[in-house]
Amino acid sequence: MKLSNKNVIYLICSLLTMVLILSGCWDNKDINHRLLPVSIGVKKVDDQYLVILNIPVPIDGSMETKIVSAKAETVSKAVDTISRNMESDVDLLHVKLIFIEKETAEDGINDIIAGFMRSRDVSPKALVAICDEDLQEFFNNIKINAEKKGLSTYNYFEKNAGWNPDIALTRVWEVFRGIHSYTHDVAIPLIRSGKDTTMDQIGSAILKRGKMVEQISSNETLLYNVFKGESGNGKMEVMEHATVMLLGSKTDNIGRLVNNDAHMESLIKMRVVILETKGEPSLNLIKEEINTLISERYNKLFTKLQENEADVFGMGQFFRNQIPRDELKNWRSDYFKNMKININVKIDIQNEGYLKTT
C-alpha cells in the first residue's frame, strides 16, 4: 500500500503521540530521588517479618550509613512501609547482600527467597548470608563500625575487594536452586559483627532445601570453594614442616553407580608455593603432608554432610544421567547418604619460594 504524503504525516504524528502517551515515562524516578540500599536484613518475629535496610547516604562527599527498619506481614510490605516513611523511593535494585537471622534460617527461608525471585526487585545475583546474632544489633554494629564507609558490607564479599577464598559466595538464585533441586544444596556464609572489624566470618551454614541444618568452619568452606572451582588463590595452609600458599586448583569428578550404590572418584589438583619450611623437608614430604591434610579435611567434611544428607557439593549432578528421575528425588536420603567417596589430591609445587637467585 502506497501512502500519500498526508497519510504519512498522520501516521508519524499518531505514532509519536502513542510513544508519548503509552511509554509511562513520567513514572521514572531520577537516581537522586531513589534510595539505594546495599544490604537488607530479614528476620521472622512471630508471624511477621522484620526488615532492616542498610542505606548508604552521601553527605558532603562522604558516605554515611542509614539503618531503617519496619515490621510487616511480608517482606515487600515492610519495604513499602519504609519507602512510605522515607523522603525518597526505596529501590532494591542495588541490593548486594541479604542477611537472614540464624533462627529464621533454621525455620526455613523458602518463602523469603521465593519472594525475592518472584518480585525481581532484588537482583538474583545478590549474595545471601546468615547472621549469627540479633539482626537489629548486627545492623547497629555495622553502622558504628562502618561509619564513613557506607559500602563496607558490600566490599566484604566483593571478589576484587575484601573477599577471601574461605568465605562462601552464594547468590539468591543458587539458594532458590538449592530449595528446588533434588541434587544440589548450598553453603551460606555465617556472619556476626566484629569487635574491631565490621564483620567476622565464623564459617558457613549448610542449607538443605532452604533450611539451615549444619554449620561448617572456615577451613571447610575453603574446601567447598575449591571444589566448586572458585579461586583459592592466596590461601595459606600450615602444616608440620611447611607453610604453603595455594595458587589455584581444579577438580575432576567421576560418578559411577555400582549395584545401585553411588561411587565418587574425585581428583583435586592443587598448585602451591612453598612459603616457609621447618628444617629441610623434601618436596615429597611436603606433598605428602598437604595430601593428608586436605584428604582428611575433605573426608571429615563429607561425613558431616552425609550425616545431614545435604549435598552442598552438588555431587548428585554427576549421577543425573544414571539415576531415573523418580528415584532422583530421593538422592539425598538413598544415595548421597551412603555414597563412597575416594579423594585423590595431586599437588604441584610450582615454586619452592624465592630463594634461588638464578
Question: Residue numbers of the site for other proteins (CB under 8 A)?
Answer: 19-20, 23, 25, 28-32, 34, 36, 38, 56, 58, 61, 63, 91, 93-94, 96, 123, 150-151, 154
Residue 25 CB, shortest distance to other proteins, in Å, is 5
Measured from the CB atom, the residue of 155 and 308 that comes closer to other proteins is 155
Residue 86 CB, shortest distance to other proteins, in Å, is 14
Measured from the CB atom, the residue of 158 and 240 that comes closer to other proteins is 158
Estimate the crossing angle of helix 110-119 against helix 172-180, to 10 degrees: 120
Residue 2 CB, shortest distance to other proteins, in Å, is 16
Measured from the CB atom, the residue of 151 and 257 that comes closer to other proteins is 151
CA pair distance 230, 216, nearest whole angstrom: 18
Going from the C-alpha of 249 to that of each of 240, 241, 246, 343, the distances in angstroms are 22, 22, 8, 14
Residue 22 CB, shortest distance to other proteins, in Å, is 9
Measured from the CB atom, the residue of 33 and 329 that comes closer to other proteins is 33
Measured from the CB atom, the residue of 45 and 59 that comes closer to other proteins is 59
Q: What string of DSSP letters covers 240-294?
A: SSEEEEEEEEEEEEEEEEETTEEEEEEEEEEEEEEEEESS---HHHHHHHHHHHH
Residue 91 CB, shortest distance to other proteins, in Å, is 7
Going from the C-alpha of 65 to that of each of 37, 53, 195, the distances in angstroms are 9, 10, 18
Q: What DSSP designation does 33 have?
A: G
CA pair distance 152, 157, nearest whole angstrom: 9
Measured from the CB atom, the residue of 126 and 244 that comes closer to other proteins is 126
Measured from the CB atom, the residue of 150 and 203 that comes closer to other proteins is 150
Residue 123 CB, shortest distance to other proteins, in Å, is 7
Residue 98 CB, shortest distance to other proteins, in Å, is 15
* 97-101 and 89-90 beta bridge pairing: unpaired
Amino acid code (one letter) for 90: V
Measured from the CB atom, the residue of 49 and 154 that comes closer to other proteins is 154
Residue 5 CB, shortest distance to other proteins, in Å, is 11
Q: How many Cα atoms within 13 Å fall on the side-chain side of residue 88?
A: 15
CA pair distance 216, 190, nearest whole angstrom: 9
Our measurement of the distance from residue 31's CA atom to the centroid of its chain's CA atoms, rounded to an integer in Å, reads: 28
Q: Around Cβ 110, how many Cβ atoms within 10 Å?
A: 15
Residue 77 CB, shortest distance to other proteins, in Å, is 22
Estimate the crossing angle of helix 283-308 against helix 218-228, to 10 degrees: 100
Estimate the crossing angle of helix 110-119 against helix 75-85, to 10 degrees: 60
What 3-state DSSP class applies to 199?
strand
Pull the grid cell for residue 203.
564459617
Measured from the CB atom, the residue of 96 and 271 that comes closer to other proteins is 96
